[in-house]
Structure 1
């Protein structure tokens, strides 16, 4: 057993002081350690918190980066698609450039064509202006011609009654001649339109002769008085202009010789008519016959043709007795005027049609 020391009463204890001091130091050390541990714990917690915050922030940044990466990928895909579209459009643009270039060339050609057409149009407009002036002049001329035509129409209307009357008189004379010959049972060749009486020269004359035969004189003695009495009747003599005796030969021989022969034969018929005039005419009618009697020779002109178009020599040798009314010349003249007006109207119409056609061509 350890023996206890006896306390020293009032003596200084070094070891106790040292122990207290060491206890105080230890306590201080413990406090310092506690404070240090507390601070370290706090620092550690702060570090963990900061680490967690950093990790969270890093995760957030990572997510944002992933989102941005996805967005960038999408943008890259979009850009790639756009790049492909741009390349396609670039090809299209190049193709369009070629087309535009071709169109530009065509446009230049069309412009040149248009300029040429405009130039041609200006020329045509000048020509059309000239034609309009010409047409205006033609219209003035046409008005003048229309005025002249109106005057001629009035004149024709005035003469129409006379023409109708003359035509009616001629028809009456021809009808009266036909009835008179039928009444006397005389078979004669008389034209129903003109009243011309045809006498066969073979009956009245020997071949190549100009003296009347007995049979010829007998024929004339029956035919001529009837023909002349009708014409010199009071109903018709005021309209009578001429009694004409025309002689014709066939186409054989010389024209001059045949002309003389035809004249002699027509003259022989006229002379025989004058020889027998007193047998059927009054004294007052004899002078009227002499005043209107005309004799002509026509040689071989106006031959008679058969059905096949060949010359009928026997029928061509003839003497014709015909008449002309006083106003027949007027009718013939009016016919000429009407034919001339008709030809002029046709010419004017053709000219007008031609001008219209030219105007249409110029407009085209």
Structure 2
């Protein structure tokens, strides 16, 4: 009798353990499936964001290209001395934008070209693409390689500041016909910056020049960009500009 009861007890023990191990295996399988689902969803989300970023950058490039090409065509029809480079987003004035040796004021031809191109830039900034991407315009003054670096750095800054003052000084011909709104737009968009004799041209005469470099927002920069405050043209700055313009 005792010999017959032993196998029965063993079978009951085995049968009692089997449901536990089956449940544990099912749990591990379910967790693995859940892990795979989460990984697939994460990879899909990352891929979607990359695709959206690529599409956004492509759209940005196309918008800026259209804006620059329109500006290029309009400037060419307005003044043949105005040269718009859509590859580097630069605006130059050829011989009209050159300075004399150790001088930092443009001649009448250069002032005329500047007077004609500024409204075109403001119109471009007011376009559909411009409101999305146009950030600012940096006025860059250049010098030749004659003289010390520090002297030329100061001279290049004087040249860019002179152009900036020409845009802001109420006595300047550039202010003729500009509304108060346009004047504020110039203050918020244009920035003076000297660069010395970097990017020198083939001759000293060609190197002594001024250029306008257009800058545009990047995708991430545009998303976090705040509305820029319009700089206040203080009395000290007005006096500096009047002194510069009178020389």
Question: How would you bin the TM-score normalised by the shorter chain?
Answer: 0.5 to 0.7
Higher-RCO chain (CA-CA 8 Å, sequence separation at least 6):
2
Partner of 1:81: none
- Do the aligned residues in 2 keep the contact of 1:204 with 1:215 (CA within 8 Å)? no
Deviation at 1:234, TM superposition (A): 5.5
Higher helix share: 1
Q: Does 1:191 align with 2:88?
A: no
Describe the SS at the equivalent of 2:199: coil
Deviation at 1:282, TM superposition (A): 3.7
Seen in structure 2, the aligned counterparts of structure 1 residues 243 and 220 have a Cα distance that, compared at 3 Å, is same
What do residues 42-71 of structure 1 show as CA deviations (whole Å, max 9, x unaligned)?
Answer: xxxxxxxxxxxxxxxxxxxxxxxxxxxxxx
2:139 to 245, 249, 258: 245
Residues 52-67 of structure 1 aligned to structure 2 (within 5 Å): none
Describe the SS at the equivalent of 1:236: helix
Deviation at 1:330, TM superposition (A): 5.2
Describe the SS at the equivalent of 1:237: helix
Describe the SS at the equivalent of 1:159: helix
2:213 to 322, 344, 352: 322
Describe the SS at the equivalent of 2:131: coil
* Aligned mates of 2:102, 2:90 — CA distance in 1: 24
Deviation at 1:245, TM superposition (A): 0.8
Describe the SS at the equivalent of 1:205: coil
Seen in structure 2, the aligned counterparts of structure 1 residues 171 and 207 have a Cα distance that, compared at 3 Å, is same
Count how many residue pairs are aligned between Structure 1 and Structure 2: 178
- Do the aligned residues in 2 keep the contact of 1:231 with 1:240 (CA within 8 Å)? yes
- Do the aligned residues in 2 keep the contact of 1:244 with 1:295 (CA within 8 Å)? yes
Deviation at 1:257, TM superposition (A): 0.3
Q: Does 1:312 align with 2:203?
A: yes
Partner of 2:160: 266
Deviation at 1:210, TM superposition (A): 1.3
- Do the aligned residues in 2 keep the contact of 1:248 with 1:319 (CA within 8 Å)? yes
CA RMSD of the aligned region, Å?
Answer: 3.0
What do residues 235-263 of structure 1 show as CA deviations (whole Å, max 9, x unaligned)?
Answer: 52342111111111111110000000001
Provide TM-score, normalisation by structure 1: 0.43
- Do the aligned residues in 1 keep the contact of 2:125 with 2:131 (CA within 8 Å)? yes
Query: Mean alpha-carbon deviation: is it higher for 271-280 or for 166-175?
Result: 271-280
* Aligned mates of 2:63, 2:178 — CA distance in 1: 22
Provide TM-score, normalisation by structure 2: 0.61
| Larger Rg computed on CA atoms | 1
